[in-house]
Amino acid sequence: MREFARLLFVGDIGLGGDYARLYGQGSPNWTAPFIEAQPLFQDADLRIGNLEEPLFRSSSPRNKRNLLGAPPESVAALSYLGFTALSLGNNHITDQGAKGITKTRETLESRGIAPFGAGEDLETARKPAFAQAKNLSFAFLGYAVQDQDVGAEAATDSTEGCVPLSLQCIENDIVAARSRAAHIVVSLHWGYQFDRYPDPGQVATAHKIIDLGALIVYGHHPHVLQGIERYKHGLILYSLGNFFLPDFVRTDGRKFRFPRESRTTAAVLCDVGTSGIQSFSTVPIGIDHDYRMRVLQGRTAARESRSLTSRSRALDAPDYGSYWRLHHSRTERKRRRRDEKAQIHGETASIWRQARTRGVAGSLRSLEGRHIMMMFRLVRRYARLFCLWVSGRPGMTR
């Protein structure tokens, strides 16, 4: 019997979208994708994640393009994995309004899962989640940023939302939590989507939070894995990517698809004793196209572990600021290309749907100026993509 507590951390979690469509219709089988991962969870004493999607669907949700909401019954998957506490401090927990947060908290609590980081008001949102394991006590605090490309909604004294990231607020909350917990875990929803490295400001902030007394800083939002850093007595997990966040249909009718890299993640196992962190390890996890989760083995696991190690070492680069800016600019260019490609697919699908519904003649008669401009943009984009493809083929460059 081990004398230390083993904590397991995973990244962003969503239980709607394609997952709800595949496993929640007809005869629900919410737990099916997680069978292979469950033994990993059973080996831990405490299990923590970031619930990115409300467990509720409102009749009057927020007016936004990427709108998330999952059936309340999907909580069966979270219960099956045995989550201890889940951060709600993120930019999608408010998608279904105040009732969405209230119902999500109630649904989790009914399964013995402690929510933290967001609430119907700021007082509720700031309440830590507490847990005990191996005679050790832990407090979990959650915060979300309003800048970068997160844009989380901050709670106020009278409105729902997340706890905004403020070092003064974190310091006060750590001091208050000390009366009930020996070890403090601070969860942060921050950073830039699909960036493999945290920006230098995040690194500085994480160091300050450890200096304030936190044992572990646990980050999420970028949807890809970032490095892990040992700093003084603490451990910093800058981003654990997507643990389980399915593709979904946006409110404009287009399909949002995460890049292939987001289908690979890692669980972090952290062994904590009375004096602090004893050791930690990572377990690479992959998501198949049918959303079944598998613990990676062999060469694939070794490759993913090397990649994570490389990202962690990069944090020690002599001029990390320049290193980050270079990679961030590359990521932004890739994002723009991916968004442009998705827009082309969506506009093409819209034209074909109209043609199938009204016929070619009917479609031509119903054309408006905006449709003509859309078709012109499509032709121009396809021509541009074709030229890029031709120029990149061996033997066809000038």
pLDDT the model gives residue 125: 98
Are residue 275 and residue 334 in the same domain, yes or no? no
pLDDT the model gives residue 336: 82
Residue 348: is its pLDDT beyond 80? no
pLDDT level of residue 355 (50, 70, 90 thresholds) = low
Rounded Cα–Cα distance for residues 190 and 280 (Å): 23
| Two tokens, residue 126 | 């700031």
pLDDT level of residue 395 (50, 70, 90 thresholds) = very low
pLDDT level of residue 70 (50, 70, 90 thresholds) = very high
Asked whether residue 49 is domain-assigned, the answer is yes
Asked whether residue 398 is domain-assigned, the answer is no
Are residue 206 and residue 347 in the same domain, yes or no? no
Rounded Cα–Cα distance for residues 113 and 325 (Å): 39
Are residue 245 and residue 380 in the same domain, yes or no? no
Are residue 85 and residue 204 in the same domain, yes or no? yes
CA dihedral sign, ordered 343, 144, 237, 11? negative
Average the pLDDT over 385-389 and give the result: 70
Q: Which residue has the higher pLDDT, 294 or 380?
A: 294
End-to-end C-alpha distance for the chain, whole angstroms: 69
CATH number at residue 234: 3.60.21.10
Are residue 39 and residue 139 in the same domain, yes or no? yes
Domain boundary, last residue among 316, 334, 363? 316
Q: Which residue has the higher pLDDT, 245 or 2?
A: 245
Are residue 27 and residue 83 in the same domain, yes or no? yes
pLDDT the model gives residue 238: 98
Asked whether residue 285 is domain-assigned, the answer is yes
Are residue 272 and residue 377 in the same domain, yes or no? no
Are residue 248 and residue 387 in the same domain, yes or no? no
Are residue 235 and residue 312 in the same domain, yes or no? yes
Q: What is the pLDDT of residues 234-285, one digit of tens each?
A: 999 999 999 999 999 999 888 999 999 999 999 999 999 999 999 999 999 9
Are residue 100 and residue 181 in the same domain, yes or no? yes
The count of structural domains within the chain is 2
Long-range contacts of 314-322 (CB under 8 A, 24+ apart): 314/197, 314/227, 315/197, 315/198, 315/203, 315/227, 315/229, 320/200, 320/203, 321/200
The domain in which residue 311 lies consists of 5-316
Least confident of 53-67, 94-108, 244-258, 326-340: 326-340
Q: Which of 144, 143, 113, 145 is nearest to 129 (CA)?
A: 113
